[in-house]
Amino acid sequence: MKGKHRLRSLFGGFVVLVITALVVSQVWASIFDNDGKPLTTLSPRGQYAQTIQNLVSPVFIIAGVILVLVMGAVLYIAFRFRERPDEDEIPAQLHGNTVLEIGWTLAPAAILLVVAVLTVATIADLEAREPDAMKVQVEGQQWWWAFRYDLNDDGVYDDPENDLITATELVIPEDTVVEIYTTGNDVIHSYWIPELNGKKDAVPGMRNFWKIQADEPGVYRGQCTEFCGLSHANMRMLVRALPRAEYNAWLANQLEPAVEPEEGSLAAEGKDVYLNQLCSSCHLIRGVNDEKVADPESGVESLLVSGIAPDLTHFSSRGTFAGSIFNSHYPDKPGATPEEVAACRAGENVAQNCGDPEDEALPGNPANPAYNVDLEDWLRDPTVMKPMAADDGRGMPNLGLGEDQIDALVAYLNSLK
């Protein structure tokens, strides 16, 4: 009877060990394999994410050692002092042992003190201003992001002469500290690019300091992490870090007004549709509908645009749209010739002319079929593509466009390099 009992508990222990080993190996693998999982917080690709990692690792190790010690002691004691049928003695009691009582009060306090010092030091590092950083205001809107680059460093972010306003994708130079100031235009959002830093709330009426830096060129993804209404889950974010020279070229191009379509072309028709179908009451295309109108009473000049829709001046320089959940075109092949890029954008021989859609680092990765949506579908009815409360003035309404208008608009939007 006794032998059978021991066999059963041995077998039970073995099963528990195997299950534990399986779970630990799975968790371990998924934590450190970042492939295709850009939202893991444990794979830093910039100095601030690394700062956080430098706190997480020692705390994790301290907690792990304590876990093993405590669980080991529990298992040992449960086994060593288990009730035996032929013994009815109670083990020696330790209650009132002063040395032990003081020891197990002071030891955890000391450990927590170490963790507290490390944590406060990390917070101070992350909150420190960087004198030479470039500065961008990051503004959450239902359900996309607007960016204002303070190019002349005067602390003013909405001066169209000296600041750049873009949307959807935050483009930064590699290996450069970027100070960001988060704010919200409607409700509270939260900006979070886990590979570059932690989260920062974007609160209406406030400007919260944060900063990011990417060691390597690449695409870094994130997700709004403060519930912000109907399409909160569809409010992604994307940072594109470029080599310095490419960034400078990107910036020079962004500062230009929109490309004027060739007279008589389909794109030129699209521009007319843009101006005539209400698009221009919400969206801004610099050089097209950025004329200001003076208020007859106060004389204050302002734009005729609502400002609550993404800037489309260089729409086609971005790879994603609508809160980075859809791709506007196939990704460019690295080192592609202009002919290949043009052919790729036109959808000709995609396999040869476009980049590998599985490559996460490429703009507008259409690897996920759910996201590989045509711009046409968006214009046909955006409310089907993304839940929005357009009747309530949130998001983009269905404008009931005809197919000819959609074709022309797509040609125009794709020409806005």
- Binding segment for ligand HEC (CB under 6 A), chosen from 23-31, 212-220, 276-284, 345-353, is 276-284
Residue 367 structure tokens: 């690897």
Residue in 144, 181, 210, 330 binding ligand HEC, rule: CB under 6 A: 144
Residue located via tokens 């929005």: 388
Q: How many helices (H) and strands (E) would you count in the chain?
A: 11, 14
| Pair 126, 48: CB distance under 8 Å | yes
- Binding segment for Cu ion (CB under 5 A), chosen from 47-55, 187-195, 248-256, 332-340, is 187-195
322 binds, among Cu ion, ligand HEC, none (CB under 5 to 8 A by kind): ligand HEC
Residue in 45, 189, 200, 240 binding Cu ion, rule: CB under 5 A: 189
| Pair 319, 327: CB distance under 8 Å | yes
Cis upstream peptide for 144 (omega within 30°): no
150 Cβ contact list (under 8 Å, min separation 6):
134, 135, 136, 137, 156, 157, 162, 163
140 touching ligand HEC, by CB under 6 A:
no
49 touching Cu ion, by CB under 5 A:
no
Distance of CA 268 to the CA centre of its chain: 35
Residue in 170, 196, 228, 362 binding Cu ion, rule: CB under 5 A: 228
Q: 330-359: which residues touch ligand HEC (CB under 6 A)?
A: none
Query: Closest Cα to residue 320, out of 274, 368, 283, 279?
Result: 368
323 binds, among ligand HEC, Cu ion, none (CB under 5 to 8 A by kind): ligand HEC
- Binding segment for ligand HEC (CB under 6 A), chosen from 22-30, 107-115, 211-219, 318-326, is 318-326
397 touching ligand HEC, by CB under 6 A:
yes
Residue in 184, 198, 323, 331 binding ligand HEC, rule: CB under 6 A: 323
3-state SS, residue 228 = coil
Buried b (16+ CB within 10 A) or exposed e, 85-102: eeeeeeeeeeeeeeeeee
Please, what is the minimum distance in Å from the beta carbon of residue 147 to Cu ion?
A: 15
398 touching ligand HEC, by CB under 6 A:
no
**Whole-number Å distance between alpha carbons of 313 and 310:** 9
User: First-to-last CA distance in the chain?
Assistant: 82
Strand order in the sheet with 236-242: 169-173, 236-242, 218-223
228 binds, among ligand HEC, Cu ion, none (CB under 5 to 8 A by kind): Cu ion
Please, what is the minimum distance in Å from the beta carbon of residue 144 to ligand HEC?
A: 4
Residue 375 structure tokens: 């711009």
- Residue 222 φ then ψ, to 5°: -155, -175
Please, what is the minimum distance in Å from the beta carbon of residue 135 to ligand HEC?
A: 22
Q: What is the DSSP string of 298-331?
A: T--EEESS-S-S---TTGGG-SEETTTTEESSPP
Residue in 167, 235, 285, 309 binding Cu ion, rule: CB under 5 A: 235
Residue in 180, 193, 202, 279 binding ligand HEC, rule: CB under 6 A: 279
284 touching ligand HEC, by CB under 6 A:
no
Interaction pattern, residues 228-257, with ligand HEC; x per rule: CB under 6 A: ---x--------------------------
Give the interface with Cu ion as residue ranges (CB under 5 A): 189, 224, 228, 235
Give the interface with ligand HEC as residue ranges (CB under 6 A): 143-144, 167-168, 231, 274, 277-279, 281-283, 308-310, 312, 315, 321-323, 379, 386, 388, 395-397, 399, 401, 409, 413
